Chains A and B, each alone.
Chain A
């Protein structure tokens, strides 16, 4: 069965620290990869996505992620976090051509001012 693993359930960082959130998926076919962020009381918001092409994807708010096919990974990074990045982050996968998402368990990030 397909699955998505997020290794960090809770992360606490100080402002200006660098961030890397791990995401691994299990699926042998062609996938689309996503990172979503959810601020308290708000919608899931797309940070970035990978479908094909350059495996280093840049998203909004200074986030980027790198698709490493050989490792089935799609880790999220940000060089310098801000207090406003405090939120929950979800990695997700879809099979190409479908809108059925498989989500990771989410990572709660808290950034200390």
Chain B
């Protein structure tokens, strides 16, 4: 089946620095990708929709200047957490639609900001 790969799987960074997370569709093209975030004991929540060749669309309450999304090619979307703070520590997952009616998910990235 289709594979979506996320990198890194986990990252620890210092407060105030920026972190980039990559999401790649390995054997298919994706003009759209989705980024989710999961806080402890909460649901995976959709943050934004990444659109190849155009600006990302953000869900209500998500700061677009803090979470920069770039969909540089048909197989790569990146999420950059800028000026990270401890409250940004979370689990981030990307997904890409398949040919059918379901999406494929990356393995997730555990971000810890210290």
B-contacting residues of A (Cβ < 8 Å)? Answer: 4, 9, 32, 34, 36, 41-44, 46, 49, 51, 90, 99-106
**Residue tally, chain B, CB below 8 Å to A:** 24
Instruction: Say whether B49 faces chain A, with CB atoms less than 8 Å apart.
Output: yes
**A32/B101 in contact, CB under 8 A:** yes
Residues of chain B contacted by A103 (CB below 8 angstroms)? 36, 43-45
**A90/B44 in contact, CB under 8 A:** yes
Where chain B touches its partner, the secondary structure class is strand
Residues of chain B contacted by A90 (CB below 8 angstroms)? 44
User: How far, in Å, is B90 (CB) from chain A's closest CB?
Assistant: 14
- Of B12-20, B62-70, B71-79, B103-111, which binds chain A? B103-111
Q: A4-B43, A44-B93, A105-B41 are in contact. Are A99 and B103 (CB under 8 A)?
A: yes
Residues of chain A contacted by B42 (CB below 8 angstroms)? 105
Residues of chain A contacted by B41 (CB below 8 angstroms)? 9, 105
User: How far, in Å, is A102 (CB) from chain B's closest CB?
Assistant: 8
Q: A43-B4, A106-B43 are in contact. Are A101 and B103 (CB under 8 A)?
A: yes
Residues of chain A contacted by B3 (CB below 8 angstroms)? 43
**A99/B34 in contact, CB under 8 A:** yes
Closest 7 pairs between A and B when the two form their complex, measured CB to CB: A44-B105, A103-B44, A99-B97, A103-B43, A43-B107, A99-B103, A105-B43
Residues of chain A contacted by B43 (CB below 8 angstroms)? 4, 102-106
Q: For the complex, give the distance between the alpha carbons of A101 and B18 in Å.
A: 27
Residues of chain B contacted by A49 (CB below 8 angstroms)? 101-102
* Chain B residue with Cβ nearest A106: B43
Q: For the complex, give the distance between the alpha carbons of A36 and B105 in Å.
A: 10
Residues of chain B contacted by A42 (CB below 8 angstroms)? 107
- From 3 to 59 in chain B, residues with beta carbon under 8 angstroms from any chain A beta carbon are 3-4, 9, 32, 34, 36, 41-46, 49
